[in-house]
Structure 1
Amino acid sequence: MSTHVLIVDDERDVREALGQTVELADLVPVRAGSYVEAKDHISTSFDGVIVTDIRMPGRDGFFLLDHVRKVDPELPVILLTGEGDIPMAVKAMSEGAFAFLEKPCGAKELLAVVAKALQARTLVIENRRLKLELDRGDAAARMLVGVSAMSDALRGRVRTVARTNAEVLITGEPGTGTPKIAEVIHLLSGAASRPFVKRPAAQLSAVDLAAALLEAGSGTLYLDEVTALAPAVQFALLEALEVGGTVRVLSGTSRDIVDEVAQGRFSTDLFYRLDLMRVHVPALRERPEDIPALFRHYVAQACEQANLVEPQITQDVIAGLMAQDWPGNARGLMNTAMRFALRISGGTDEDALVLGKGSGLAEQLAQVERSLLIEALQQSEGRSGEAADALKLARKTFYDKLTRHRIKPEDFRS
């Protein structure tokens, strides 16, 4: 987790006060009194965030923001603004600033925004580390993208089962990528140089199954959505497994296979033969920290295939991605990433948030306002008065905004 906070302000007392606030939150302050002092700390490897005043003698906060954008566009910059600077700060947000805070800001408000920025920076650093691993790692590191603990565990499980010759059952919701897991298991196995044959189970006849087994030879046969096998084909597969041979059979399903067995739709004997080892692929909503890494990966792939320059993936885009449940899992995310890379929209809710189609300044500011209201209610655990005070809003104004954005305080109470 990133912990450094570069504090830039020409007033020594302000720097010291902000530094103490940061230290009390177990973060590491780095103080600078000017752009010249600050720029030496700014690099693609800086694992923290920047909090800077706008108005400073000489090269001000906007000049610093511009420098940061040139060095590392994904390094979060939080602007501290006076009352008259807010229009400028809003403009700076559109140019890449992470957030702005009106001075004087309370410690709680500052630390909440810093925490979000540090979380975003941590994801960026982890994504870059992962890319280095992808460039020099094995098939699991290259093909199973993700920075979460669940992804680490998945890669470990895949490597373990790949070292055996046993049949493997791969489970996961639609779109989680069970066929890719099967391919990685094959590439990590001793049969990596031999054929990898993939067949959709629903379309297989007994004759097709025999042909697929023959084609796989001493390699690997993957049966996608294995519970869709017709009864006669289930029997043929069980016979082939009982006889034995050199083909390793991997199978995947998005259905509850135990229920399929209980309902008599899938052979009990075949289930036990296929389920010698199991790999479960978690849904994307269970590992949201993987969403930015996967999205960047898919965008890069799409741009490479279409010979396009990669578009900038801003913090607003990441926020739009993270706001979704992704019922289509990795496949749905990949589709959105492809449309994002090609600058087109499929008209989905995900595209609307991520691509920002039709959003003018008013709509963008409304989204920012809604995010601030939600954040204040989260911090106060749904206590409206406390949230209104944190935002320095009159009660009536606060409730009017909640009504306009269709936000209910009770949704944030534990």
Structure 2
Amino acid sequence: MARKIGSRYTAHQVLGRGSAGTVWLGEGPDGPVAVKLLREDLASDQELVGRFVQERTALLGLDHPHIVSVHDLVVDGNDLALVMDLVRGTDLRTRLDRERRMAPEAAVAIVADVADALAAAHAAGVVHRDVKPENVLLDMQGPLGPGGAHPALLTDFGVAKLIDTPRRTRATKIIGTPDYLAPEIVEGLPPRAAVDIYALATVLYELLAGFTPFGGGHPGAVLRRHVTETVAPLPGIPDELWQLLVQCLAKAPASRLRASELAARLREQLPSLAGMPPLDVDEPGSEPEEDEGAEDPAEGTEGGTAAGARGEPRVRRGAVPLVPGAKPDSNRDTHTSMRVPGPDELAGGARGTARVPRAAGAPRPGSARNRAMARRRRLTLGAAALVLVAAVGLGAWAALSDDEGDVPPQDSNNSAPAVP
């Protein structure tokens, strides 16, 4: 059912839903547009509406081939909307849900496009603050790039900043998506351009591995890992690309590259990545199924469905697909409100929370399968030791037998005369 958005736009159908609002296919004076209609509770916040209007100039001024341009901001009654370019394609989260991980060449090409977009935004003094796959759109009508990658466009600039108003959040709250939050945000520092670099490096890690480096479990555990854990290496990743990732995931913001530097360095990697297949690694904490009837660990959990023998695609944790009626996962909401962990919580608990990627098929440390394999190894080593001991014993017995057989027999003709 169509609805009017202001006096110039008409929204015809829902394209997708997120935690901040709903995206509609709309029509304006110059043709089709995408209209992001923010939630009604946000539209009723007069302080937020004032801030929304103040941000108008900055948002309308972002013009770059890899940024979804904002054409207009509408404040009309209970409607608070951003009118944007309509991108004919899908979002990066949807592609990850379908493919789980991408070939390194395509992943790096997409992230390089996003880095270019961030470079333009940062030069204009705008920090995105919510870089993640849901906010990267793939233009299916654009020319294919390296590895068959579609052009990537970054969207939702300014939404996190608009919602993060002093009245809605206090110093004890964090606004953001846990998996992609830079350590300095967790520690309560103001977000600068470096937080976008950290989030983008996390996205690249996820495109390569199929999971984020510090995600999984309760949001509080995720926040702690960002502050205390060191990113674990990915088996099979080229060393130069890995060093680039490590630098951009540094805990200290000053150690990270600028967006323009990251884009240039990533494109330098593309020739060496041509033809490289996706990495073959297992997510930390996951167990490969040992038999066809094994229970799927995702079954019965929020955002997860059974895959297994039925051949159905597994819905990844936290998927927020751009389809009508989609239910967002609370762990991936754009504006999840979380308590800032205290210093004692951030200082402790690091041991045991590390999530080390494993080669495909390798058991998870401490799992039942890992313990069973360890028992089998001990039994095998014990049996080998027994065989070795038996072999040594037999060898010694044989050697002694040979020594006894070498004693010459006594000659009866040479025997000593009997004593009378």
TM-score bracket, normalised by the shorter chain, equals under 0.3
Greater RCO, CA 8 A, separation 6+? 2
With normalisation by structure 1, the TM-score equals 0.27
Larger Rg: 2
